Structure 1
Amino acid sequence: MSQILTANQAAELHKSIVAYLSSINASQGAATLREELQLGEGFDEATSKKYEGLLEKKWTGIARLQRKILNLEGQIASLQAELDAAPTTRSKQSQNPENWLPKPSSTHTFESHRDAIRCIAFHPVFTSLASGSDDYTIKIWDWELGELERTLKGHVRAVSGLDFGGQKGNTLLASCSGDLTIKIWDPSKDYANIRTLHGHDHSVSTVRFLTSTNNLLVSASRDATLRVWDVSNGYCVKVIRNDSWIQDVSPSFDGKWLVSGGRDQIVKIWDASTGEHRAALLGHENDIQCCVFAPPASYKYLAALAGRKSPPSADSSSEFIATGARDKTIKLWDSRGLLIKTLTGHDNWVRGLVFHPGGKYLISVADDKTIRCWDLSQEARMVKTIDDAHGNFVTCVRWAPVANADTAVDANTANGAPAKPNYQCVIATGSADSCVRIFT
């Protein structure tokens, strides 16, 4: 018995050999082999005809595969030679996290929702990602392994906003919905719904923790208000009134300031502690869909764009703002109301914005199904477009969590060398195609 072939495979081979010998008129050899292999009367002439030619087909098939293998090996060798000959400076640049931009193809595609994705949020510590959908559910994924961990049910309308936050060591997930409620979920208790916040009179558009390590949460609503909540007890501690539907709100990195935008086409900056209106930015010609403060790492590029001689202090948290709207444009502003630059290129509503933690790039997503990357060091020129990033409108984008500043300080910094980047090169996008994609 062959040590490689199974019993069935060996029997098929034996019959093929006997049939081949019969077909070339080697009847004596065929008869001898039949006798040695103990092929009984069941292997008659009709059966032998079925096996004729099988051996030649297998043999010629192997020859074709060998030729294909040789051709592919030649192509691999040629491509490797091209890679080896590529300039080393380009290779170094691609390895520098400050120059990282998403590749055209995603690392993972998550498919489980039954309707459009509205919002996504990364867990600040673990490799968990939450997605909210028009199917009324929240799903928790492991974005590194590409696996669905659980589905959260509780809202009775579309889930419109998500964010992780809360005190250090006690991370919570906040969600909001068209059902007028905000729900708080505890990951440490299998994502149990531990609190539901009531107070808004219309659909809640979005929720954001003021910082990733405190219990204050801000929500924006179609009832034309911003509300600040203490999630530890569920109380609304402040109501900020606007003139029309607020579709997005984002806090500054220290939680001291809020920027909002919506149906009235005005971007507004608010003092988070007092609720006072600090500035109004006018320029968009349609509803504002997204707004975000620039991180201090972007100040040197945005200050140059604004014509300033030197960038503002990194301690200042509300110097520059980016906004996207249904007028298909992105606008860059300073906090005093000066429009620095209008970025054009999207062919449909701009839905989401995120700054690269290294400060050099702004990344946008839109209903034109694209992801676009803008280089702030080159006067905010569009340097990369990922067409058909999704099969439908791209509705949201988030960057993986950035570690606290003190985690980036190490021996290299103490010796005068640059600090290591304290961020991961990972973004997530959600879409009306019901999919979440991870780009790493």
Structure 2
Amino acid sequence: MLTDNQRLSLNRAICDYVRHNGASNELVAQLDSLLLANAPQDNADAIATQDTKLLEKKWNSIVKLQSRIMDLEKYSAELQKSIDEEQTTQKQISDASLDWEPKDSPSFQVTLGASITALCLHPTLPVIFVGLDSGKLLRYDILNMELPLQSIVAHMDGITSISISLRSENGRPAYLATASKDLSAKIWELELDSTLSHIKTLIGHEHTVSDCQLFERGADLLLATCSRDLFVKVWDTSNGWCIKSFQPHTQWIRSINVHGEFILTGSNDSAIRLTHWPSGNGLSMGIGHEFPVEKVLILIPDPAHLQPQYQPLGFQNVASASRDGTIRIWKVCLPKFIPHRPPRPNPLDTNFKVIAVLKDHQSWVRDLHQFQNKLFSCSDDGTVKCWELNWEKLSDTTCAKSWDLSKNGFQNCLTLDNITFTALPLRKLLLSGSNEGTLTCFMR
């Protein structure tokens, strides 16, 4: 809608345009009487002085504006095409990442002089953190392994586990956590150049702290630990307080894996258990290994392969590695989800179902890691193996490749890029640590 001034200005411009383009005096007089007769005198005097070629200029401006709009539409279409092509390229790279396997031979090997008991890759920098059985924590540049960037006597006894978190969007620093046989866990702040600074020591376990994992809950960064004292503890890293403690097993808890509000544990009692940690409710368990479970892992599938009923849980399969030389893949039984109440076990279904038993290792299986549709394992038989996960039918999981590192001793631990930090892991690294102190690295 036009204001009175705008309407009067338009009418005057129409009359001026007609007058200056050869119209008869009679037609001009008729237009003046029709369009300008009722104009207020104060407005009419002001409008009478306006440019007589205003309508022509306005029309030219509209044409130019229309041309500009057409140019912008063309530019927008080109940008959208570029975005579509980039997404297609990224998808092709992602699909290629699914098929990644390390080379047949190591890129390099380094002897560190003490048994390597824990490894952790920095998610973005070419940096590896190495925990030794002597309690030392080493930080190496993968591209120059001659000398460590940093060497710290982190614990009074062997380091059993290392976990890392990224810098958060709200400004929280990046952290590293270590667990040890000295009954403690420690929190270290990671500077931008990956330098470590000790900030907290978490005391509360009464025996060896076997495993640890940093994870986020809302804006909080928490640390889960498990111990030979039979307890799992969850710590608030901001103040060092233990906010939850529960006892899921009857024997030494050797391994832990966290996904949201759910914790998977493996124990010397040869069982694995799933617990809702905020409530402490035990939900279900897996029984079938003949000897202690050394490692547990929650398998995160492509979202397309997650069954709808498992959406509240976020996963449907887990894996466990044992001293009986096998890796078992299980299907988790679904707990009962009750609105506004913590999940509870389903009394009709409390035992995991065994989907596959992988028997290619000849001795204790020590560690497990997932990289998209690959599962990597290492063992006291001196080998590292890559397993192809067929999400459509996990029972068809097969060993795709094996690396014999037995000349370097038992293979204690593995580390790969953590795909939870980035949806598209372009860097492809696999590192293995042995009881004889040899660090082996496979690069793409």
The 1-side partners of 2:223 and 2:321 are apart by 23
RMSD: 2.6
The 1-side partners of 2:128 and 2:381 are apart by 24
Post-superposition offset of 1:207: 0.9
Give the residue type in structure 2 aligned to 1:398: T
The 2-side partners of 1:340 and 1:298 are apart by 19
Instruction: Name the residue aligned to 2:301.
Output: 296
Instruction: Name the residue aligned to 2:102.
Output: 102
The 2-side partners of 1:315 and 1:127 are apart by 36
Q: CA contact under 8 A between 1:157 and 1:177: conserved in structure 2?
A: yes
Instruction: Name the residue aligned to 2:82.
Output: none
Q: Secondary structure at the match of 1:215?
A: strand
**Structure 1 gap segments, 5+ residues each:** 1-91, 304-309, 409-420
The 2-side partners of 1:199 and 1:390 are apart by 39
**Structure 2 gap segments, 5+ residues each:** 1-91, 334-351
Post-superposition offset of 1:260: 0.6
Give the % identical residues.
25
Instruction: Name the residue aligned to 1:35.
Output: none
CA spacing shift, 1:190–1:356, aligned 2, 3 Å? closer
Q: CA contact under 8 A between 1:402 and 1:423: conserved in structure 2?
A: no
Post-superposition offset of 1:439: 1.3
Q: Secondary structure at the match of 1:296?
A: coil
Q: CA contact under 8 A between 1:393 and 1:433: conserved in structure 2?
A: yes
TM-score (structure 2 length as normaliser):
0.67
Post-superposition offset of 1:325: 0.2
Post-superposition offset of 1:194: 1.0
CA spacing shift, 1:133–1:404, aligned 2, 3 Å? closer
The 2-side partners of 1:291 and 1:350 are apart by 11
Deviations 1:94-120 (A, max 9, x none): x922111112222232333x2111111
Instruction: Write out aligned runs for 1:32-71 (5 A).
Output: none
Give the residue type in structure 1 aligned to 2:442: F
Deviations 1:152-183 (A, max 9, x none): 11311111111112651511111111111111
2:253 counterpart of 1:243: no
2:215 counterpart of 1:215: no
Instruction: Name the residue aligned to 1:372.
Output: 385
Instruction: Name the residue aligned to 2:118.
Output: 119
Deviations 1:293-314 (A, max 9, x none): 00122974xx8xxxxxx68667
Give the residue type in structure 1 aligned to 2:440: R
Larger Rg: 2
Decide which of 210, 234, 255 is 2:240's aligned counterpart: 234
Post-superposition offset of 1:390: 5.8
Instruction: Name the residue aligned to 1:332.
Output: 329
Give the residue type in structure 1 aligned to 2:126: T
Q: Secondary structure at the match of 1:97?
A: helix
Q: CA contact under 8 A between 1:299 and 1:311: conserved in structure 2?
A: no
The 1-side partners of 2:176 and 2:361 are apart by 32
Q: CA contact under 8 A between 1:353 and 1:365: conserved in structure 2?
A: yes
Decide which of 328, 337, 341 is 2:356's aligned counterpart: 341
Instruction: Name the residue aligned to 1:285.
Output: 290
Say how many residue pairs are matched. Answer: 322
Instruction: Name the residue aligned to 1:392.
Output: 409
CA spacing shift, 1:133–1:144, aligned 2, 3 Å? same
CA spacing shift, 1:403–1:260, aligned 2, 3 Å? closer
Give the residue type in structure 1 aligned to 2:326: T
Q: Secondary structure at the match of 2:408?
A: coil
Instruction: Write out aligned runs for 1:422-437 (5 A).
Output: 422-437=425-440
Post-superposition offset of 1:389: 6.1
Deviations 1:165-222 (A, max 9, x none): 2651511111111111111111229412111110000011011112498510000100
Deviations 1:289-348 (A, max 9, x none): 001000122974xx8xxxxxx686677423100100000000000111111111111010
The 2-side partners of 1:335 and 1:152 are apart by 40
CA spacing shift, 1:154–1:364, aligned 2, 3 Å? closer
The 2-side partners of 1:388 and 1:123 are apart by 24
The 1-side partners of 2:439 and 2:161 are apart by 15
CA spacing shift, 1:322–1:271, aligned 2, 3 Å? same
Q: CA contact under 8 A between 2:220 and 2:236: conserved in structure 1?
A: no
